[in-house]
Structure formats: structure tokens, C-alpha cells
Amino acid sequence: MGRYWRLVGSTHHGRSVGKQRPGEYPEVFNWLELDIQSSIGKECEVNWSMRSTQERIQEIDDLVLAVPEDREVLSALAEELDCIERSCKPENFAILGDTFSGKTTTRDKVVMELIRRGFFPTDRRILRGTAIHADVVAAADRDPGPSARRFVALDANSSGQTKAFLNEFLAVLGETVLTASSTGSIETHVRDIIYSQHVEVILIDEAHHLVMHKGAKVSWNVTELLKNITNGVNVLIICFGLPETVQLLQLNAQLRMRGPLVIKLNPYDWNDETSRSQFKRYLHEFDKRLPFDRLSDLDENFLAFRIYQATSGSKGLAARMLKAAARIALRSEADHVELSHLNEAYKKYAAMRGSHVNPFGNAVPATWVPYEAGYWQRHEPVGA
């Protein structure tokens, strides 16, 4: 079954909107209905109890949700690609967030949107992304032809030296690495290949490695490199990384002028009413997409607040934990995700949360069940 991250409509992933509790979520959540149309997205009714466990696990693995930042990211991408088509210089931008904020999934969405628009990757390894569906990989398998629009995707995990970074470029461009050449000659070579291969977009993941634990001179050289390799060509650079990546812009005023937009992927905040409602909607949509024939009520306060406590509102960590809980539920032949499944899933990711109390276990404080308004009522500890 073909899937895409874009739709919340009449039916999606076998889930009818009729299962949504009436009046639960107001129109403020129209951000989920992203204005992205694609033949990749297909909809059908599914009786999940009739499907094999393996099919249902695959459905869990492929589950990707739209989030509010998607609209900002994809709008910025569309605007800059239109700029390139008009033969003007695009403005670079950065997508920044802490660990488990959803940066990798956002990058995969950008890759899928580029392929939807007819771009081809210079290196197919980017198609191994966790959020990139087989339908998209198949679309990228077409013969691109010599004049196809292309994009480059690389990780900034090299030593931070400019020559090593340039050779990373050569590798993903399918060219021979030039270890013996000077930095200047490699830089010119990379720029020539970008032009000859019709590369219009450069995606740099883990961009914080270009500035973290590096000397000021090395970081400055990297910013000059990014500026120089796009001189004379209309190429869009999109950086993904931790918040420290913003130092790249602060170091070089000329580079900053070419990329003033920074999109931050922030965690949900339970203490903010709007953010709390968005988090609960996120859980509800996640619940609807799970391959069960009944809802697990993940967005009900009893579970929602515990999921928030377990993940600190992090989209990426919440998705990992909920997928793990769903797999546990399937293997135990349950018809929905229960508290015990979340308890087991949490233990898998406990190391990522330090000494955090397991909010799904017996040690949950008696004050951990919230009212709608955000105040807490007394409740018997879970499992008591």
C-alpha cells in the first residue's frame, strides 16, 4: 500500500475520521492537512485483524506524521526552488533542533518532496532514510537523463577540515576523492561538478559537526567553502543540525545574508495550552494510523500526560516509543496499545532519559493525572 506523510482526510491508513471523537479537536489543527498532493498517497479501508503480524509491523515502521513545522519547511523549500527556476539566487535556510526533535524525519520529508518535484539524488544512500517510503525510492529509480535536476545529500561527520569536507562532496557526487590535491583545486572541481550535474539543492545533515569542537579558523574556512562552491551557480543549501549550527551564520556575515531563515523544531510544552493541544492531537493522529481496529486513546489525559513525561514532548522520542509499544502490543495479540505495552517500551528507551521516573510503572506519583486545564488531581498510582 502506497503511503505519504501528507494526508489527514476522509480515510487514511485504514482509519476513518469517524473514529475521531466529535468536537475533540477544533479547526486550529488544520496544519495537519498540508497542501501537498501526490499520487504516492493512497487511501483504503483496512481490517487490520485480517492482516499478518509482519504486514502490521511494516505499517508501524512506515508511519510518519505531519507536524506544524512541515508547512514552514516545505513552503520555504517551494519558494526557493521557484527562485531557482526564475534564475535568481535562492536563500539558504537551516532546520535546527535538539536530539529526537524530528530533524532526520524532516530531512526525509524534504527528500521525498524533492523527488516528487522531479529531482534525483546524486547518491542513492539518502533513500535509506527511515521516513522514505518504497514508493518514493521507486520514483527515483527512473532514468534521470543528462539534464535532470539533482540534489546532493551528505553528512557533515568528517574531521571538520575543509579538504575532508570537500572530499565528502566528491564522494556523494560520484567522483573520485582527491586527497593529494590542494584545497583550492578541489573546491573548484566540486563547483564545476555541481554545475555540470545540474545540482540545485545541497542537503547537509549533522551540520553542527562543522562548528562544534572546532577552532574558529576551521569553522570560518567551512563557511567560506559553503559560500564559494555556490558562487556563480544558483544552488540552495539546507542545513540540518543541533541548535549550535546557528554559529555558522554568526561567523560569516556574507553567508548569513544568503541564509537568514532558521526553522526551529521545538518539543511540545504541556504547560502551554496550544502546545499541549497540539501534542494531544499528535497522539490522536498517531493512534489513528496504528494498525489496530480500535483506538488506544493515547490522547486521553491518563496516557497523554505520561507520554509527555516519558518524552519531554520530543516528537522523535515519542514516535520511537509509541512504535515500540505498538510492536509489543501486536506480538502479545492485543487489539490496541495498553499501559503495560508503554511500560515495556519505555524501559527500552530509559537510558535516553537518564534517571527519569518511569511514568508507566508502579512508581508513578499520585499527583500525575492532569485535569484538562493543566492542573493535577489526585489519582491512585498506576498498577496499585
Would the pTM of this model clear 0.85, i.e. be above it?
A: no
Residue that is written with C-alpha cell 499520487 in the block: 39
CA triplet 67, 318, 300: central angle to 5 degrees?
Answer: 85
Reported as a single tens digit per residue, the pLDDT across 265-283 is 999 999 899 999 999 999 9
Assigned C-alpha cell, 6? 501528507
Q: Which runs of E-coded beta strand occur in 215-310?
A: 236-241, 261-265
How far apart CA 264 and CA 94 sit, in angstroms, is: 8
Helix/strand/coil for 294:
coil
Q: What is the DSSP letter of 156?
A: -
Which one is predicted more confidently, 337 or 132?
337
The reported pLDDT for the residue numbered 75 is 92
Paired residues of 45 in beta bridges: 14
How far apart CA 200 and CA 81 sit, in angstroms, is: 8
Give percent of the chain above pLDDT 70.
Answer: 78
Closest CA to 62 of 131, 161, 156, 149: 131
The reported pLDDT for the residue numbered 362 is 65
How far apart CA 307 and CA 322 sit, in angstroms, is: 9
Closest CA to 304 of 24, 23, 1: 24
How far apart CA 194 and CA 149 sit, in angstroms, is: 11
User: Residue 365: pLDDT band by 50, 70, 90 thresholds?
Assistant: low
Is the model's pLDDT at 188 over the cut of 50? yes
Q: What is the DSSP letter of 131?
A: T
The reported pLDDT for the residue numbered 345 is 92
Would you put residue 41 in left (φ > 0), alpha (ψ -120 to 50) or beta? beta
Ordered domains of the chain (ranges, CATH): 11-66+268-377 (no CATH), 69-265 (3.40.50.300)
